[in-house]
């Protein structure tokens, strides 16, 4: 006969006896189910015995020993199996619900994030940005573009290009305030919304993002001579401005900077 422990949520919850019932799994009730069953059974037995005793006293009916024993045992015989089945089923449904919620949260997180960087993706960023605009949150809109990413990919391979993207992602997360929204919206494009309440010098932050991204990439790809740089455009966000509007305006400023950088 083979005994096998059943694990649930990392804890030992029951025993499987594979030789019994054609290989069916027999689980011992969890401690929580046992406690609830004991409480309900004792309550039901107390009520049943009290009512039975009261009726017999009012009717002046005397019981023999067997009747008294049956009257004491029968409530437990009925209540314990019913309570065990009920609370075990209820616990199973609760566990299934918790698993479903965890799975749904994981799917939602995966659907709203960029798989390489873990930042928000374009759709999720737009939803949260539009929500901020509906609340009249003021701030700065940034759009960043990795300079010469194609050149890095062609010369050193796409893994090097991925490291460049990750370096920018790490720098933006490190330098932008915690309340900022940050997203990767394209192959080499990032955007961010920084609320003005953060009281940060946006130009200083942009300079720090460029510096940290270059340092991270250089340390990750020590054998690459190509340095990493980012062109970043930014504009203040007006109330009720849509993502498309601010994106178009900031994009113009970004590419103006890229043209200036290419002339250097």
Residue 184 has pLDDT above 60, yes or no: yes
Distance separating alpha carbons of residues 138 and 117, to the nearest angstrom:
26
SS3 101: helix
**Mean pLDDT highest for which of 65-79, 94-108, 174-188?**
174-188
30 against 212, higher pLDDT: 212
Q: Which residue has the higher pLDDT, 33 or 169?
A: 169
Q: Is 148 left (phi over 0), alpha (psi -120 to 50) or beta?
A: left
* pLDDT at position 13: 43
Q: How sure is the predictor about 58, in pLDDT bands with cuts at 50, 70 and 90?
A: confident
Write down the pLDDT at residue 20: 38
Question: What integer pLDDT is reported at residue 101 of this predicted model?
Answer: 66
**CA–centroid distance for 25 within its chain:** 32
Residue range 202-260, pLDDT digits in tens: 889 999 999 999 999 999 988 788 889 898 989 999 878 899 999 988 888 777 766 66
Res. 200 pLDDT band, cuts 50 70 90: low
Distance CA 58, CA 81 (A): 31
Q: How far is CA 55 from CA 48, 52, 58, 59, 130, in A?
A: 11, 5, 5, 6, 70
pLDDT recorded at residue 24: 44
Confidence of residue 2 (pLDDT cuts 50, 70, 90): very low
Q: What is the mean pLDDT of the chain?
A: 80
Contact 160, 228 (CB under 8 A): no
Q: In the chain, what are the domains?
A: 3-112 (no CATH), 122-263 (3.30.70.270)
Which of 101-105, 118-122, 139-143 is predicted with the least confidence, judged by mean pLDDT?
101-105
**Average pLDDT of span 16-20:** 40
Alpha helix stretches (DSSP H) within 149-231 = 149-156, 158-175, 202-220
| 213 against 196, higher pLDDT | 213
Q: What is the per-residue pLDDT across 158-182, written as a single tens digit (0 to 9) for each?
A: 999 999 999 999 999 999 988 899 9
pLDDT at residue 1, as a whole number: 37
How large is the average pLDDT for residues 177-196? 90
Q: Are 17 and 5 in contact (CB under 8 A)?
A: no
Q: Which residue has the higher pLDDT, 199 or 240?
A: 240
């Amino acid at each position: 006969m083979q005994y096998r422990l059943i694990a649930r949520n990392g804890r030992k919850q029951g025993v499987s006896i594979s030789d019994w019932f054609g290989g069916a799994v027999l689980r011992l009730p969890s401690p929580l189910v046992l406690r609830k069953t004991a409480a309900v059974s004792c309550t039901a037995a107390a009520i049943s015995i009290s009512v039975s005793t009261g009726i017999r006293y009012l009717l002046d009916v005397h019981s023999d020993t067997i009747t008294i024993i049956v009257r004491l045992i029968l409530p437990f015989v009925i209540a314990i199996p019913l309570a065990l089945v009920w609370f075990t089923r209820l616990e199973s449904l609760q566990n299934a619900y918790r698993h479903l919620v965890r799975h749904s949260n994981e799917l939602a997180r995966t659907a709203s994030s960029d798989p390489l960087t873990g930042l928000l993706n374009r759709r999720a960023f737009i939803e949260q940005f539009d929500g901020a605009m509906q609340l009249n949150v003021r701030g700065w809109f940034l759009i960043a573009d990795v300079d010469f990413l194609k050149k890095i990919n062609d010369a050193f391979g796409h893994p090097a290009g991925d490291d460049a993207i990750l370096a920018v992602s790490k720098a933006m997360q490190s330098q932008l305030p915690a309340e900022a929204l940050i997203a990767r919206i394209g192959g080499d494009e990032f955007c961010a919304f920084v609320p003005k309440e953060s009281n940060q010098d946006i130009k200083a932050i942009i300079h720090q993002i460029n510096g940290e991204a270059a340092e991270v990439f250089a340390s990750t790809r020590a054998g690459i001579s190509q340095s990493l740089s980012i062109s970043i455009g930014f504009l203040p966000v007006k109330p009720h401005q849509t993502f498309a509007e601010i994106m178009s305006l900031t994009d113009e400023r970004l590419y103006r900077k890229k043209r200036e950088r290419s002339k250097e």
